[in-house]
Structure 1
């Protein structure tokens, strides 16, 4: 299924067909579809994480999947049509995987809420609603790390220790917990990784929760160091010193060379003649 976004779809005939498809789909959803049970658990994410809303794996014969923002399949809230085309609810951060599941990258607090999938199956139309909640980043929660992070990135070799500390300036004492790649993993003020392994590489954030709400720190990502190899610089090859000569300079140089040859030949001849005269006199 294609997930590319056409920047001009809002005024094209294809957009009209898409809206018509959504209208027909929404109008017959109530009478011809059965709603599957929603997920019991709410997906808690932190800003900047990736949300993955899967198509139910226990349904056989899924022919197509369309996604909508909200608890109902409204045409104006369509994110993807059954043909995999983006709709008016598409923000440019949504894609479909090979199974038809919805993937939202770089989520923000505004992405919190319900998402409805309408599935075309061999046994009819089914629908399912998923919910996500994105905790907004806040200056009230600060994440300190050792080694220090640079622009939200820690570079560390495997088997080394990484220590993260969560500081909160919230007035009412909150409960602190940690998320790893958007999912809760630990609780407490400190998160200590004693020996870094491959499974520990990823994005972490600290969340402070009290009766007034939840506040998240800026995320920090742990990566392996990048090896920078400077390219081998080739030694410069000095060209042979050649004096370019053309035109009148070339003619003058040739004449001078010929004159030099004549003078040299004349001198040698004069020397030989003088030698012979001396022999005759003797």
Structure 2
């Protein structure tokens, strides 16, 4: 029996109608009702009975909105645990011991109405429910307006290509982290468009995902961005070592100048010597320094994509001689000998005067004593 499948846009309305229909039958016949949730083809469909009284003698499930004999799928008798297949039976469909209908590996044409007849011995109750099987959605696609941008300058707009109409099902990721609207990020109300206003060099991976009705995330391909940045700074290494912006070197000595910088894409280099272009290499080697090679050198680093440039200057000049400044007084060797001799004679003279004074003093005391 073939049942036409409702359009995807109206499945929620159909579920609501089916629920109302089931509730109406429930109210009219007593307690039994059927609940089901939409599922995706390939997954199990499940129609669950609720409010089932005690003492059920038989569950009989039917395809469609009636319980005729030619529409029966299968019946189950709890007292004897006996299953009875019907004209609409297939190996994918069966009844659990609690009377629920399970459809394994569901197909799109399993969508439709299902009716259960419950024999309680003294009465029979019926309920009809709706099962919706959805097609497995394709993974969402993704596109961007550009894949090459300049750091903190160029915006990027990305579109998630999906048929999802529920905005809450769509998610965006930058560098594998989920993002939402903020000062740097704008997401459209339907969440299908993402705008990154300012990207850093580390923001180079974008993707989107859609959560299907089973809660499974279906992710798009990854978009890799090339973010141009730099040059950040210019580092100048020299041999011999420099002192500030001055490199002292003697005529005839070797000089090595190495200019480096962090940049993407790889930067270009230019060496300027005393205002004239000299080289486009990152390193400059002067095997034997000449007078003409003295002066100011400038290394210019340029990023052709970001259109940014930096430079560093250094001056090569001869080492400056620092005069020796002597303080105090200086004595020649002859003067040293003279002063030593005079010091010795002065000492002898003082010793003689002291001895004479002592002798005279004791002689005077002796004379007075006599």
| TM-score band, normalised by shorter chain | 0.3 to 0.5
Q: Bigger radius of gyration, 1 or 2?
A: 2
Larger proportion of strand:
2
Task: Report which structure shows greater RCO (CA 8 Å, sep ≥6).
Answer: 1
Q: TM-score, normalised by structure 1?
A: 0.40
Larger proportion of helix:
1
